[in-house]
Structure 1
Amino acid sequence: MRIPQIQIHQEYAWIGIQTTSAKQEIEQPQATVEIKQTSAQLTIEQPNGELAIDQTRARDALAMGNNLEMMKRIYQKSAELALQGISRIVEKGDRMATIHDGSNPIPEMAMDWRRTFPEFAFEGPASMDNVDIQYTAHRPIIEWNLGGVEYNVTTHKAEHQYTPGKAEIYLRQRNSVEFTLPQVDLTL
């Protein structure tokens, strides 16, 4: 005798998922930068130096100096020269008085006449330091103005677009259980 068997057939449920990815777009325009630069300025002014040359003493040493100074010197030496001249005349007189010794003083004195003429120096003292030189330098005048840089920056906000993603979940196949019963012979 055969034993009837029940057949069970089962199918599982299948879930289907269909997704759409999220989209995100971010865009930011570049910032606008305005730069304004003021140039630095530099002004330099150099005044000329001053040179003073005093050659009064050099001209005086060459007897080309001040007339009043030369006349003063002549006046001061005149008395001394007059005394020297008187002294020479006395000396010549003494020589002529010695005529008895047989000498001839008159031709000798005539020959010495030019040599005995007194030197009359009315020029000033000569020296290598007679010219005075004085130089006055002037400092340069420097003025400056610092320049600068001005920045003007305009920023722009970011533009953001977001599209959310989707997840669609559906039942692709339903679950099922199927029982198949054997045929039972009810006659006995």
Structure 2
Amino acid sequence: MSTLPVVQIHTTPTLLHIDADIGQYSIRQPKAEVQLHTKPSKLTVQSHAIELNVDQSKAFSAYHGGNMIDMNARIYSGIQQLFMQNMAERVQQGNELAAIHKPGNTIANIIGTNWKSKPFPETRTPASMDNVDIRIETRAPSVRFEAAVSEMNVIVNKPEIEYQRGKLDIYVKQYASIQFTPTAIDLEL
């Protein structure tokens, strides 16, 4: 019997080598810048002087007659009044003289009582405790308030991002191969 020759087949697979490192991110963000400006509040108070007005013209008028215009007006109106009183007395005396026939209406009785002088019109005004007028004027202070004003400005800085690539090495560590090993052939037959 004859045997068939055997062939040995030996295979090796392909081996790939992969060496990889991951990339790295670097993120840095500077702090935000804050600018704050404040205008302070302001209070302004302005006070006004007190005004004191003293009017003594009535007191001066009672002391010595006051100013010339007012004193002349009083004299004029007083003389006018005296004239009217004297006129009334003369009319009355005339009426009494007309009725001389009545007992007691003698010329001596009628005209003899008229020997006293008439006073000159009063040039002064009556004295009174209300002759001095005092007036005090006050005004409330002017108050103005300006509120404080704040302004805030924020500057946001963008983040700084850096990326460093990783390493990727791929190579063949072992190539695929096929080996055929035949068996020894015996030629002596």
What TM-score do the two structures reach when normalised by structure 2? Answer: 0.50
**Matched residue, 1:181:** 182
Which structure 2 segments of 5+ residues have no match? 111-120, 126-132
CA distance in 1, matches of 2:84, 2:30: 115
Q: In the alignment, residue 40 of structure 2 is paired with which amino acid?
A: S
CA distance in 1, matches of 2:4, 2:39: 110
Which structure 1 segments of 5+ residues have no match? 110-119, 124-130
**Matched residue, 2:66:** 66
What CA deviation, in whole Å up to 9, does each residue of 1:102-159 have, x standing for no partner?
7x679xx9xxxxxxxxxx7986xxxxxxx9x9x8x8xx69798x988697x8x79959
Q: In the alignment, residue 98 of structure 1 is paired with which amino acid?
A: A
How many Å apart are 1:4 and its aligned residue? 3.0
**Matched residue, 1:25:** 26
**Matched residue, 1:112:** none
Pairs aligned (count): 157
CA distance in 1, matches of 2:105, 2:187: 212
What CA deviation, in whole Å up to 9, does each residue of 1:16-68 have, x standing for no partner?
21211122323244255564545364545354586868796xx49xx747253
CA distance in 1, matches of 2:80, 2:25: 125
Sequence identity percentage: 26
Q: In the alignment, residue 66 of structure 1 is paired with which amino acid?
A: G
| Residue 95, structure 1, aligned to residue 90, structure 2 | no
Q: Is 1:30–1:156's contact at 8 Å kept on the other side of the alignment?
A: no
SS at match of 2:178: strand
Q: Is 2:5–2:185's contact at 8 Å kept on the other side of the alignment?
A: yes
**Matched residue, 1:81:** 82
CA distance in 1, matches of 2:80, 2:90: 15
CA distance in 1, matches of 2:32, 2:92: 118
CA distance in 2, matches of 1:31, 1:20: 35
Q: Is 2:43–2:143's contact at 8 Å kept on the other side of the alignment?
A: no
CA distance in 1, matches of 2:87, 2:25: 134
SS at match of 1:180: strand
CA distance in 2, matches of 1:167, 1:156: 31
**Matched residue, 2:117:** none
Q: Is 1:16–1:171's contact at 8 Å kept on the other side of the alignment?
A: yes
How many Å apart are 1:74 and its aligned residue? 2.0
CA distance in 2, matches of 1:42, 1:93: 85
Q: In the alignment, residue 75 of structure 1 is paired with which amino acid?
A: Y
CA spacing shift, 1:55–1:18, aligned 2, 3 Å: same
SS at match of 1:26: strand
Q: Is 1:96–1:105's contact at 8 Å kept on the other side of the alignment?
A: yes
How many Å apart are 1:7 and its aligned residue? 3.7
Counterpart mapping for 1:114-125 below 5 A: none
How many Å apart are 1:10 and its aligned residue? 2.1
CA distance in 2, matches of 1:38, 1:79: 77
Counterpart mapping for 1:144-159 below 5 A: 158=160
